[in-house]
Chain A
């Protein structure tokens, strides 16, 4: 929270953002603000547009209407005069470097060891020296509790271990913002805790995070802001205890009665 005072510019600002796939309108005029150092949890039934919103922030999908900006910079487009220009791939890639993303299916590179997964982008993209990248990578592996797994291939790691490596890989780029797309949904129940613990530690360290999740306990404990989405719209948002404990909207009540 103290970090919010550093800058007035919100880390993520969405102003009436819409997105359609063909005739299917997935996001309908979403307006949200995530301040620096804040943890926002996005919850809602599947197909509600949570993941699409997350992917828009990271340029993996293009916004159709409205304005979406990260750290004050417009996502996907450049505004010159009164015209919008599509970003070149190279410029989009540059913006992505500051945004870490963790996927539901981990998406580790299976032909690389845990350490190689982590140092790949710092070396190739940030042109970091190999020794420096390795030192940083080992540090990150220790931070996620996998110091002894640097030479393990993803296939030899449990799901929870793979997801922790994936978090370390995203952190290796030293992002300003971390996006988590249902990071524990593909895990066996007994492995969920280890990943959430790492995420809690990350939140405590002041990282700005947007987390799409079904883990209501985590949302209640860690989130500064909880947003409930359904059918491509923000139904309700606010303090997690408030939204979870005393939902105002009928749809929120219906959803929470199923998951809690």
Chain B
């Protein structure tokens, strides 16, 4: 396709170039095997789709019947709630753990490391089973001085339901991963930023919240998007708690009643795919937004706008600097505020 474009150039762009060489017009290299493989793959895909559409076991009739079933769409809502709540808690905990790991206090650092070691080192499914047994292990929650009569004693089952156990279970696991993401983000910020803020008399907390974290966000956001997508799918494991009002649990419960598991697996899959697709699109735009400004071109250096400045009067003596119209860098600045 580019051949035709090239052949046109010597004619159009040669005002004085009589000796300009003719553009190369070669026979393109053929890739016969590439075509063969492509045909085979497409054929297999078509075969699979045609076969699947007619195959009895997929139960497309039931798929159509349940895809927009109210119970399923409610379950989808629970899946979203589980994802959002557990991610919010995981991010807050993750930031805390990341800061703890970067602390100079060896005990604080050690505790954070221990937490990460346990929660990253055991499967999330196993952790969720443990959370399901929480009320069995700790039947009452007591507040008071240890080894004395508690001031307040609450039945664990009255305090917390399986939904929140699921949220906590997912959040505590996820926070270990978020901690590492946040830590990488904080470490990516130039040490000079910290020093500059410190030299200005800013406290550690001010330095962190005003200078370091805002810059770390650019590194933190993309992998966090991945974690959200991953979390959406991991919610299917809360059946271990057991909490079964979310997408996978609900579709499985329905399939048990109608003795037809396959179409409901397809229903659940379709919903998961819908959500992950939306999140992937969202993440694409988020990443685009946060990568903006990384490779910002610096303005052409003029070197002419330097004024000789006298601090007592505050007057700028160079006329062209005073006019304020000399510098090309005002253009990109203007764009920044679009």
Among residues 133 to 169 in chain A, which have CB atoms less than 8 Å away from a CB atom of chain B?
139, 142-145, 147-149, 151-153, 155-158, 160-161, 166, 169
Q: Which residue of B lies closest to A96 (CB)?
A: B201
Given known contacts A103-B192, A201-B309, A173 and B201 CB-to-CB distance under 8 angstroms: yes
Q: How far is the CB of A82 from chain B (nearest CB, A)?
A: 28
Minimum C-beta distance from A173 to chain B (A): 6
| Complex contact B298–A143 (CB within 8 A) | no
The one of B193, B202, B303, B333 in contact with A125, judged by C-beta atoms closer than 8 angstroms, is B202
Q: B314, A151: Cβ atoms under 8 Å?
A: no
B18 within 8 A of A: no
Listed A/B pairs (22) with beta-carbon separation below 8 Å: A94-B201, A96-B199, A97-B200, A99-B199, A107-B193, A107-B196, A109-B197, A120-B202, A143-B314, A145-B309, A147-B324, A152-B330, A153-B336, A155-B298, A156-B298, A156-B299, A158-B302, A170-B199, A173-B200, A190-B301, A191-B303, A194-B307
Given A142-B316, A156-B296, A158-B301, answer yes or no on A101-B199 (Cβ-Cβ < 8 Å): yes
Residue numbers in A under 8 Å from B321 (CB-CB): 145
B329 at the interface (CB under 8 A from A): yes
Q: Does the CB pair B301–A143 fall under 8 Å?
A: no
Question: Is A67 close to B, CB under 8 A?
Answer: no
Contacts A158-B329, A190-B303, A204-B312 given; does A125 touch B192 at CB 8 Å? no
B24 interface residue, CB < 8 Å from A? Answer: no
A205 contacts across to B, CB distance below 8 A? 311-312
Closest residue of chain B to A60, judged by CB? B195
Q: Which residues of B have CB within 8 Å of A153?
A: 293, 296, 333, 336
How far apart are A115's CB and chain B's nearest CB, in angstroms? 12
Are B312 and A156 in contact (CB-based, < 8 A)? no
Report if A151-B337 is in contact (Cβ < 8 Å); known contacts: A89-B203, A111-B215, A142-B316.
yes
With beta carbons under 8 angstroms apart, the residue of A94, A120, A148 that contacts B200 is A120
B contact residues, range: 35 or more
Bound complex: CA of A223 vs CA of B93, how far in Å? 53
Whether A1 is near chain B, meaning CB under 8 Å from some CB there, is no
Known: A155-B293, A197-B308. A60 touches B301 (CB 8 A): no
Main SS at interface, chain B? loop
- Nearest B residue to A126, CB-CB: B201
Please tell me if the beta carbons of A188 and B301 are within 8 angstroms of each other in the complex: yes
Could you list 17 further interchain pairs (A-B, Cβ under 8 angstroms) beyond the known A145-B306, A152-B336, A156-B296? A101-B196, A103-B196, A109-B197, A121-B197, A124-B202, A142-B316, A144-B309, A145-B305, A145-B318, A153-B333, A155-B298, A156-B333, A156-B336, A160-B306, A197-B308, A201-B309, A205-B312
Q: Is B2 an interface residue (CB 8 A)?
A: no
Count of CB-CB pairs between chains A and B under 8 Å: 136
Bits for B201-217, please: 1 = Cβ < 8 Å to A, else 0.
11110100011001100
- Considering the complex, give the chain A residue whose CB is closest to the CB of B299: A156
Q: Please state if A198 and B324 are interface contacts (CB–CB under 8 Å).
A: no
- Complex CA distance for A81 and B293, rounded to whole angstroms: 54
Say yes or no: is A238 at the interface (Cβ < 8 Å to chain B): no
Q: Is the CB of B316 within 8 A of A147?
A: yes
Does A202 touch B at the CB level, under 8 Å?
A: yes
Distance between Cα atoms of A162 and B198 in the complex (Å): 19
**Chain B residues whose CB sits within 8 angstroms of the CB of A158 once the complex forms:** 298-299, 301-302, 329
